[in-house]
Amino acid sequence: MTAAIEDAELRRRRDGSALEVLRVFLKLGLTSFGGPVAHLGYFRREFVVRRAWLDERAYADLVALCQFLPGPASSQTGFAIGLMRAGYLGGLAAWAGFTLPSAIAMTLIAYGEGALKGPAGDGLLHGLKLVAVAIVAQAVLGMARSLTPDRPRATIAVLALILMTFAPAAWAQIAAILIGAFAGLIVCRQGGDVADVEAPVSRRAAIVFAGFIFAVLALSFVPARPGAAALAAAFYRSGALVFGGGHVVLPLLRTAVVDPGWVSANAFLAGYGAAQAVPGPLFTFAAYLGAVASIGPGGVAGASLALVAIFAPGLLLVMAALPFWNGLRARTNARAAMAGVNAAVVGLLASALYDPVWTGAIGGPADFAIAVAGFVGLIVWRAPPLLILILTAAAGIALGVLG
């Protein structure tokens, strides 16, 4: 009888349509401010507490899987929930509903970016850069508290920071992650219970997805003439190699589009600041960059290309990993390596806080005071990021007009 009840409950949780998933995630995509950690809280309230699509145990395991994989963790978690609710179309509907509102907003911001001229426009762009200082500092603090709570992991983070300070290149980011994994195997061997996550993807399909992911990743490193293919390759690499998601993608995207001169440093930081004002995943910053990039189709087509390219590897990795996750989670070595990788990610983000965020925004005492005020508003007063953005942008305009 108990088994029959459990089977009926499982069928009920699976009995959903892609349209239902799209409707729920569209509401979340329009209202989920606060970054990846906040998004996971919204998901838990909506899908565990309110709708009971998953239980606490299954949800915790999905979050653990998406934290383990490279890519945008909150978007991957939402995609997995949609996948488990309504199959492949449900996963696509979850991603579209959660992503498109902010992607459309960032594309519109890209169209307006070139119109910001004169002292007021320059001040607004500068204010958006100062917002980025406060937001990234908050992210560093929050991630350090959760991912480096002890001396070994804090040390790994500092070593990653030192490496990025003296070798701020794409290969150094990958090296820092690999060093973090190796160090984690040695000093982060914590125990802990594991639980099963039902895989809605067959192992055969998962192997096909994995092969496709790594084949495209290998092709993305092949030099290409500046154009749509080169732009897509740069965003695909960024999406495939970022651990931690959210703000951590900042240094990878900067290397991908600013270093080769496709997007100016000022436009990059201004767009990153504007990304804090919209709900949904921070990875939609890619839509802005694709729209303003000097190569590729530009505009809406460039935004669409960049958006799909940066999200594709993370979502495909979820489908490739789900059938094998239970066995991997049970291995002490895998958990230890991931703890080290997460600690290294904190160091990468701290490095990005200094360069380009701090160095590109803080030019004097007034800038420093505004950024600190924004940071205190977020941390101490727990003000909404949108409010901090409005106030900081206003302060930037005032500096631009009066200066």
Over 70: is that where the pLDDT of 199 sits?
no
Q: Any alpha helices (H) in 44-169, and if so which ranges?
A: 56-68, 73-113, 118-147, 151-166
370 token code pair: 């505004």
What was the pLDDT predicted at 65? 79
Per the prediction, the chain carries an average pLDDT of 85
Over 80: is that where the pLDDT of 15 sits?
no
pLDDT in tens, 205-239: 999 999 999 999 999 999 888 899 999 999 999 99
208 token code pair: 């096909």
Nearest alpha-carbon partner for 348 in 188, 175, 133: 175
How far out from the chain centre does Cα 370 lie? 26
Which pTM value belongs to this model? 0.75
pLDDT in tens, 17-44: 999 999 999 999 988 866 776 688 788 8
Cβ neighbours of residue 321 closer than 8 Å, sequence gap 6 or more: 65, 68, 69, 206, 328
What was the pLDDT predicted at 60? 72
What was the pLDDT predicted at 174? 75
Over 80: is that where the pLDDT of 157 sits?
yes
What was the pLDDT predicted at 281? 92
Q: Which residues of 50-72 are buried (b: 16+ CB within 10 A; e: fewer)?
A: eeebbeeebbebbbbbbbbbbbb
What was the pLDDT predicted at 119? 80
| Element at 44 (helix H, strand E) | none
What was the pLDDT predicted at 6? 45
Over 60: is that where the pLDDT of 4 sits?
no
**Cα(26)–Cα(249) distance, rounded to whole angstroms?**
24
pLDDT band per the 50, 70, 90 thresholds, residue 339: confident
**Cα(239)–Cα(380) distance, rounded to whole angstroms?**
32
Could you say which DSSP state residue 259 is in?
A: T
Mean pLDDT of all residues in 304-315:
97
Tell me which residue has tokens 């850069």: 129
Looking at per-residue pLDDT, the higher value among 293 and 124 belongs to: 293
pLDDT band per the 50, 70, 90 thresholds, residue 132: confident
pLDDT band per the 50, 70, 90 thresholds, residue 168: low
pLDDT in tens, 273-309: 888 778 889 899 999 999 999 998 989 999 999 999 9
CB atoms near residue 5 (< 10 Å) = 9
What was the pLDDT predicted at 247? 73
